[in-house]
Homo-oligomer: A and B are copies of this chain.
Amino acid sequence: MNALNIAEHMHSLGLQAREASARMAAASAAEKSAALRGLAALLRANVASLRQDNAKDIERATAAGLAAPMVDRLKLTPKIIETLAVGCEQLATMPDIIGEILGMKQQPTGIRVGQMRVPLGVFGMIFESRPNVTIEAASLSIKSGNACILRGGSEAIESNKALARLVQQALVDAGLPAEAVQLVQTTDREAVGYLIAMPEYVDVIIPRGGKSLIERISREAKVPVIKHLDGNCHTYVDDPCDIEMAVKVADNAKTNKYSPCNASEGLLVARGVAKDFLPRIGKVFADKGVEMRCDPEARSILQVVPGADLKDATEQDWSEEYLAPIISVKVVAGVDEAIAHINRYSSHHTDAILTRDHVHAQRFLREVDSASVMVNASTRFADGFEYGLGAEIGISTDKFHARGPVGLEGLTSLKWIVLGNGEVRS
């Protein structure tokens, strides 16, 4: 498309999404469930043709010399398609939160005042490579009564188009407008610039991808962005604490998986338990090949551990999101220094205290300024499904609107409703 056509295309997507959003907001739970169940059936019935379209993306990516792991992320296998279908069915069975009424209270004037949950309207989702996000975003959008405009990675364009066609068919079969879920049809980067700057048509942008993508979008967007930047999470081992439990939880927080944003990247240890705790966790990390970047005090204690991979931490290490078998380690005086260190260096994603002390636990919960704050649990639990949200749109590192794991509620707003009997204001 040329520049003029891109502008027209985006404008038309926006206008149609806005129109469709009114119908979606009024859709019944039954209609939305029918669309989701229909989509599940269509996915299962079209495995072969989806794989054909997907093969075009795979071929093009391979020919372009894309690295094997990147090509892998593009693949729509029968197993992945089945998982997507099951996800749609699960969403269909979840309660519909749209129209929910909260806190209705009678006021002295006689009016009753409360809040009703309604969709935000239209959201734009910008994502990279994995085509399954097309179905995940579309199904969340349908369930939450919004309309959405999806902009996937250029490598997956054929797969995304094929998936989006199925979504639109499912919508129409359920008596809902096809334009409730639209895919940007061009891979031109300029389209993103339009998508994030149409406040008249798009209410919120949700980017999923690398930090640089999200930073660029946040900087340039003219509408709110539900953004997930980095996860520099900490586990603080307090004095007093159950050392056995602390070793188990700190190990899990770091080594359960290295790549997720909720893995711990920093380990803080109270001086009072450092000589007891550090050699034990040091042995676990040494056995698993985890490099420890230490302050001098931690390093001198950890030197007793045979085979430990110890380095001196630099100032930069305290802010680092490694997403790798590396952890920074620091001895602190106690809970005050731990809270201060975390509030200074954490990315405000998820931080945990492991403690027996009730007052320390309460202070940590209240004073650590992060989206998720935990006592005696692994930071790896910071996740919409583990929190019982039933779905996850993303994890927000912002404080405004939605914070931490964002479920369907993050795509809704509360409007005030007033029920009267002819009351007037004096």
Shortest C-beta distance, A233 to chain B (Å), equals 12
Separation of A405 and B370 alpha carbons in the complex (Å):
27
Knowing A107-B387, A388-B107 touch, does A415 contact B403 (C-beta < 8 A)?
yes
Asked if A377 lies at the interface with its beta carbon under 8 angstroms from chain B, I say yes
| CB of A156 within 8 Å of the partner chain | no
C-alpha spacing A191/B312, complex, angstroms: 43
Instruction: Confirm or deny: A60 has a beta carbon within 8 angstroms of a beta carbon on chain B.
Output: no
User: Is there contact, CB below 8 Å, between A381 and B249?
Assistant: no
Which of B373, B415, B424 has a CB less than 8 Å from the CB of A415? B373
Cα of A158 to Cα of B381 in the assembled complex, Å? 53
- Which residues on the B side are within 8 Å of A405 (C-beta)? 416
Question: A211 to chain B: which residues have CB within 8 Å?
Answer: none
A210 on interface, CB distance cutoff 8 Å: no
Asked if A372 and B109 make an inter-chain contact with CB atoms under 8 angstroms apart, the answer reads no
Partner of A256, one of B248, B369, B425: B425
Asked, given contacts A111-B377, A388-B105, A403-B415, whether A369 binds B25 with beta carbons under 8 Å apart, the answer is yes
A401 close to chain B: CB less than 8 A: yes
How many copies, total? 2
B204:A400 contact, CB within 8 angstroms: yes
Cα(A197)–Cα(B189), bound, Å: 27
Interface residue from B109, B249, B378, B401 paired with A400 (Cβ < 8 Å): B401
Taking a contact as CB atoms under 8 Å apart, the answer to whether A415 and B419 are in contact is no
The stretch of A42-50, A114-122, A265-273, A274-282 in contact with B is A114-122
Task: Name the residue on B nearest A374 (C-beta).
Answer: B418
Q: Is A72 interfacial (CB-CB < 8 Å)?
A: no
Cβ-defined partner of A248 (8 Å) among B370, B416, B424: B424
Nearest CB on B from A386, distance (A):
6
* CB-CB under 8 A for A387 and B400, given A25-B367, A377-B423: no
Question: Contacts A26-B367, A420-B374, A425-B386 given: A403-B399 contact, CB under 8 Å?
Answer: no
What's the nearest-Cβ distance from chain B to residue A377, in Å?
3
Is A420's CB under 8 angstroms from B377's CB? yes
Interface string of A390-426 (1 = CB under 8 A from B): 0000000001110111000000011111111111111
- Residues A246-267 near B (CB distance < 8 A): 248-249, 251-253, 256
Contact A26 B366 (CB under 8 A): yes
Chain A 360-392 residues near chain B, CB threshold 8 A: 363, 365-367, 369-378, 380-382, 386-388
A90-145 at interface with B (beta carbon < 8 Å): 99, 105, 107, 109, 111, 113, 116, 118, 120-121
Task: Report chain B residues within 8 Å CB of A109.
Answer: 381, 386
Contacts of A376 in B (CB 8 A): 419-423
Asked if residues B417 and A369 are in contact (CB atoms below 8 Å), the reply is no
**Contact A380 to B425, CB < 8 A, known contacts A120-B400, A367-B26, A386-B109:** yes
A113 contacts B387, C-beta separation under 8 Å: yes
Asked if A22 is an interface residue, CB under 8 A from chain B, the answer is yes
Contacts of A424 in B (CB 8 A): 248-249, 251-253, 256, 377-378, 380
- Is there a chain B Cβ closer than 8 Å to A245's Cβ? yes
Contact B365 A399 (CB under 8 A): no
- Indicate if the CB atoms of B423 and A415 lie closer than 8 Å: no
- Report how far A27 CA is from B413 CA in the complex, Å: 30
Cβ 8 A contact of A399, one of B121, B249, B421: B121
Q: What 0/1 pattern do residues 305 to 317 of A give for CB contact below 8 A with B?
A: 0000000000000
Which 6 pairs across A and B sit closest by C-beta, in order of nearness? A377-B420, A252-B424, A245-B422, A380-B425, A374-B418, A399-B413
Q: List 8 A-B contacts (CB under 8 A).
A: A25-B369, A105-B388, A245-B421, A252-B424, A374-B419, A375-B420, A377-B418, A377-B424
